[in-house]
Chain A
């Protein structure tokens, strides 16, 4: 069954340091996509990064990178050089490509960046 798990309800990081947010998933579909979204206190959902199950390289978008370990079914988000504006909720999500577009999310991790 399609499942996404984020085991860190809250994380703290010092400004300018790197932080890793964990995400594990479960699926029987060989073709799927993994997404990370940011939700600041204002409430909007902001897309950060995407990784496809067949992608050979880990995805990167600016300060965001996705540490994709397919055998372990993990898709951790790495934020380098944290900024105060990175304080927000972060959600991992998965869409199985052969299951009709169903997109499910994990429980989220609240990241707080300390000055």
Chain B
């Protein structure tokens, strides 16, 4: 049972390059989330999705785009990477409706922009 899988796990980008981070979950979860984690800042919500074909902005959406074309996948795109986007990115997913259900996390993607 894979749970939440993030691809890639590590990446180094040059300033101005673009890339897409893939999050895949096999638990049939409705909700999916993208976070970035920086020292002293905790996890900050970038974008999230409450279902296939829907996305919403989180706390720090600038410089990122997302798509949820299939229920099991949530893609995070960086169109023109900047050094300020150097971070660890986490994807998470959870069920909708059942109040007690927690979010399950991927293993993280460490992105460095030089």
* Residues of chain A having any CB pair with chain B under 8 Å: 6, 9, 31, 33, 35, 43-45, 47, 50, 52, 91, 93, 97, 100-108
| Chain B hits for A102, CB < 8 A | 45, 48, 56, 58
List the A side residues contacting B48 at CB < 8 Å: 101-103
Segment of B13-21, B73-81, B96-104 in the binding face: B96-104
Closest to A49 in B: B102
- One of B90, B92, B96, B99 near A52 (C-beta < 8 A): B99
Q: How far is the CB of A89 from chain B (nearest CB, A)?
A: 9
Chain B residues in 8 Å Cβ range of A52? 99-100
Binding site for A on B (CB under 8 A): 30-31, 33, 35, 40-45, 48, 50, 56, 58-59, 88, 90, 92, 94, 96, 99-100, 102-105, 107-108
Tell me the smallest distance from the CB of A41 to a CB of chain B, in Å.
13
Interface of A is mostly: loop
Does B42 lie within 8 Å of A47, measured CB to CB?
no
Residues of A within 8 A of B100 (CB): 33, 50, 52
Residue of A nearest to B45 (CB): A104
